[in-house]
């Protein structure tokens, strides 16, 4: 096992990986930008080194500086998390060249799967079905190909993933702007503006399989995740298993996922993403050669700690479990909580978290990188927490999620918690009737039937809030006051007329 590991990331995933290392008794080295001196991952790690100014291109993406910190601190492994350098084959190679283990797949596998067009060809050869699409082309050829394939089409960044550098194009006149926007986001997120075009499968489900593979040729899958609930091609709610997958489809897709991993000569944890249409045809979409944001839901239904498995695999151990040992137990959901205002077009809402109360009790898991008093910086992804729930059934997992979201208090910034609460009550979601266009088509973020009565409660609160500010206002008891008023209330006549 590793003597010491450097975590080349920040936020919740850095904290997740430090937790895994603590449980494996591996000392950890954090790196941080100047904007992140007070970040949780810096406080949790055993060592911490600043690697540059706030913009990630000047800090978290500076490969030689990170490798230098690893060497100087004596780390013999680097885990890249997701995003940043996680799917950068140059970085994986640089680690190897410096005698440091890259805790992920081989540079060759990253490169093959990272270039979406090469990945498509590899999959076609391995008889895994793919969606019709183009190679990398310049703007004019892309625009022409879009017409040939037939709208709607998707413009996608060759590098990276996670919904960035992607644009859907419904009609010809949008093509130029979509290519520009995708290139611009791809450039700023991955440092590579190459894009290609794919047929856009309408009303698909996005279903992915979690893979674990060791360096000795053993490959298993840990079942599927349903990731159809997306905003701007970014997953926001995931679950495992999927209601759309029965035993037969699970077996066939699982086999295809394992074949895909074998075709890529893959080791480490990875994810094979598929689109599934309404006729249960599935198409290879891409392979993510890293730990996924949504890995916790798979951990909750299988009991396998995927992050810890990555460290074991990278240190050369064989998989401790065989395919037939992997069992599925219950149902798990994840809601990604962003520092965004759901009632104002999901505008980012950075700032200081003044109060934080994380839900607890049975079947609840919170993965977050923040704390009360922490300032969510402007420079990075606005995801601040992943809230997961487990239940014996999908219904129980949903009931728990509603309960847990209701308990979650994050003050000082606006978050997407109210959005998730609405999804958890949406009849289509409850019925499992979800596709990647769910949010556009089947979801309205409106005040519900109980709104009228609660409006008065909100006006009462605002009036008391105003009173706190001014001497003229009628004062409200603070925390330390005696409860005598409340006690007298027992004998009072009802006046609540709502």
Partner 1 sequence: MGYVAVVGGEHIPVDVFRNPDGELVVKVEDREYVVDARWTQLDLLSLIIDGRSYQVDIHSEKDSHRVLVEGEHFDFELFDERKALLKSAAGLGVEGIQEIRTSMPGKIVIVLVAEGDEVQEGDGLVIVEAMKMENEMKSPMAGTITKVGVVEGETVEGGALLVVVE
Q: Does 33 bind partner 1 (CB under 8 A)?
A: no
Contact region with its own copies (CB under 8 A), list: 43-51, 104-112, 226-234, 462-470: 43-51
CB of 27 to its own copies, least distance (A): 13
* Contact residue for its own copies among 99, 171, 487, 493 (CB under 8 A): 487
Closest CB to its own copies among residues 163, 351:
351
* Contact residue for its own copies among 471, 483, 493, 495 (CB under 8 A): 483
One-letter-per-residue 3-state SS of the chain: CCCCEEECCCHHHHHHHHHHHHHHCCCEEEEEEHHHCCCHHHHHCCEEEEEECCCHHHCCCCHHHHHHHHHHHCCCEEECCCCCCCCCHHHHHHHHHCCCEECCCCHHHHHHHHCHHHHHHHHHHCCCCECCECCCCCHHHHHHHHHHHCCCEEEEECCCCCCCCEEEECCHHHHHHHHHHHHHHHHHHHCCCCEEEEECCCCCEEEEEEEEECCCCCEEEEEEEEEEEEECCEEEEEEECCCCCCHHHHHHHHHHHHHHHHHCCCCEEEEEEEEECCCCCEEEEEEECCCCCCHHHHHHHHCCCHHHHHHHHHCCCCCCCCHHHCCCCCEEEEEEEECEECCCCCEECCEECCEEECCCCCCEEEEECCCCCCEECCCCCCEEEEEEEEECCHHHHHHHHHHHHHHCEEECCCCCHHHHHHHHCCHHHHCCCCCCCHHHHCCCCCCCCCHHHHHHHHHHHHHHHHHHHCCCCCCCCCCCCCCHHHHHHCCCCCCCCC
CA distance 117 to 115: 5
Q: Are strands 351-352 and 375-376 parallel, antiparallel or unpaired?
A: antiparallel
CB of 49 to partner 1, least distance (A): 6
Q: Does 24 bind its own copies (CB under 8 A)?
A: yes
Q: Does 457 bind partner 1 (CB under 8 A)?
A: yes
What number of CA atoms fall less than 13 Å from residue 94's CA on the CB side? 18
CB of 49 to its own copies, least distance (A): 7
Residue 399 contacts which entry, its own copies, partner 1, none (Cβ below 5-8 A, type-dependent): its own copies
CB of 329 to its own copies, least distance (A): 6
Number of residues forming the site for its own copies (CB under 8 A): 62
Residue 305 contacts which entry, partner 1, its own copies, none (Cβ below 5-8 A, type-dependent): its own copies
Q: Which positions from 247 through 306 interact with its own copies, judged by CB under 8 A?
A: 296, 299, 303-305
Known active-site residue 290: yes
Q: Which positions from 402 through 431 interact with partner 1, judged by CB under 8 A?
A: 405-406, 409, 411, 414, 418, 421-422, 425
Residue 184 contacts which entry, its own copies, partner 1, none (Cβ below 5-8 A, type-dependent): partner 1
Residue 73 contacts which entry, its own copies, partner 1, none (Cβ below 5-8 A, type-dependent): partner 1
Binding mask 91-130 for its own copies (x = CB under 8 A): ----------------------------------------
Closest CB to its own copies among residues 198, 334:
334
Residue 382 contacts which entry, partner 1, its own copies, none (Cβ below 5-8 A, type-dependent): partner 1
Q: Does 478 bind partner 1 (CB under 8 A)?
A: yes
* Contact residue for its own copies among 7, 13, 15, 237 (CB under 8 A): 15
Helix (H/G/I), strand (E/B), else coil: 60: coil
* Contact residue for its own copies among 6, 7, 44, 110 (CB under 8 A): 44
Q: Does 65 bind partner 1 (CB under 8 A)?
A: no
Q: Does 223 bind its own copies (CB under 8 A)?
A: no
* Contact residue for its own copies among 7, 13, 35, 119 (CB under 8 A): 35
Q: Which positions from 309 through 368 interact with partner 1, judged by CB under 8 A?
A: 339, 341, 343-345, 347-350, 354-355, 357
Residue 377: both structure tokens together: 């910086």
Residue indicated by tokens 């593979």: 213
CA distance 448 to 299: 34
The active-site residue, picked from 290, 312, 336, 400, is 290
Residues that bind its own copies (CB under 8 A): 15-16, 19, 22-25, 32-38, 44, 49-53, 296, 299, 303-305, 307, 329-330, 355-358, 360-368, 371-373, 375, 392, 396, 399-400, 402-403, 406-407, 479-480, 482-484, 486-487, 489-490
List active site positions: 290
């Amino acid at each position: 096992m590793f003597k010491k590991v450097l975590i080349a990331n920040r936020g919740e995933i850095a904290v997740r990986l430090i937790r895994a290392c603590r449980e494996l008794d591996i000392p950890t080295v954090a790196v941080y930008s100047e904007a992140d001196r007070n970040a949780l991952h810096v406080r949790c790690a055993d060592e911490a080194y600043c690697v540059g100014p706030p913009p990630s291109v000047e800090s978290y993406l500076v490969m030689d500086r990170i490798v230098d910190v690893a060497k100087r601190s004596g780390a013999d492994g680097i885990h890249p998390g997701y995003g940043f350098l996680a799917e950068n084959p140059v970085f994986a190679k640089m680690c190897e060249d410096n005698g440091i283990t890259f805790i992920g797949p081989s540079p060759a596998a990253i490169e093959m799967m990272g270039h979406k067009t090469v990945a498509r060809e590899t999959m076609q050869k391995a008889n895994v079905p793919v969606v019709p699409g183009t190679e990398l082309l310049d703007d004019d050829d892309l625009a022409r190909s879009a017409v040939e394939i037939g709208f709607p089409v998707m413009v996608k960044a060759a590098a990276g993933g996670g919904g960035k550098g992607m644009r859907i194009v419904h009609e010809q006149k949008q093509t130029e702007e979509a290519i520009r926007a995708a290139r611009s986001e791809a450039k700023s997120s991955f440092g590579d503006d190459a894009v290609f075009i794919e047929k856009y499968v309408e009303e698909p489900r996005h279903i992915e399989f979690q893979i674990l593979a060791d360096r000795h040729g053993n490959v298993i899958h840990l079942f599927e995740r349903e990731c159809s609930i997306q905003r701007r091609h970014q997953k926001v709610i995931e679950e495992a298993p999927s209601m759309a997958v029965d035993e037969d489809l699970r077996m066939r897709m699982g086999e295809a996922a394992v074949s895909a991993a074998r075709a890529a000569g893959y080791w480490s944890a990875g994810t094979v993403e598929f689109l599934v249409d309404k006729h249960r045809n599935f198409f290879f979409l891409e392979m993510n050669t890293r730990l996924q944001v949504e890995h916790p839901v798979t951990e909750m239904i299988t009991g396998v700690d995927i992050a810890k498995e990555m460290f074991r695999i990278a240190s050369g151990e064989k998989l401790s479990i065989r395919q037939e040992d992997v069992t599925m137990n219950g149902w798990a959901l994840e809601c990604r909580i962003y520092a965004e205002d759901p009632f104002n077009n999901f505008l980012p809402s950075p700032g200081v978290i003044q109060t934080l109360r994380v839900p607890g009790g049975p079947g609840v898991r919170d993965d977050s990188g923040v704390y009360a008093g922490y300032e969510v910086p402007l420079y990075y992804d606005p995801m601040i927490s992943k809230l997961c729930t487990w239940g014996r059934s999908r219904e129980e997992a949903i009931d728990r999620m509603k309960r847990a979201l209701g308990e979650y208090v994050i003050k000082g910034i606006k978050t997407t918690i109210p959005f998730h609460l609405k999804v958890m009550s949406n009849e289509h979601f409850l019925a499992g009737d979800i596709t990647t266009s769910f949010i556009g088509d089947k979801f309205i973020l409106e005040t519900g039937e109980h709104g009228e009565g609660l409006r008065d409660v909100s006006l009462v609160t605002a009036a008391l809030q105003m009173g706190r500010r001014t001497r003229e206002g009628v004062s409200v008891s603070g925390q330390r006051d005696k409860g005598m008023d409340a006690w007298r209330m027992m004998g009072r006549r009802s006046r609540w007329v709502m």
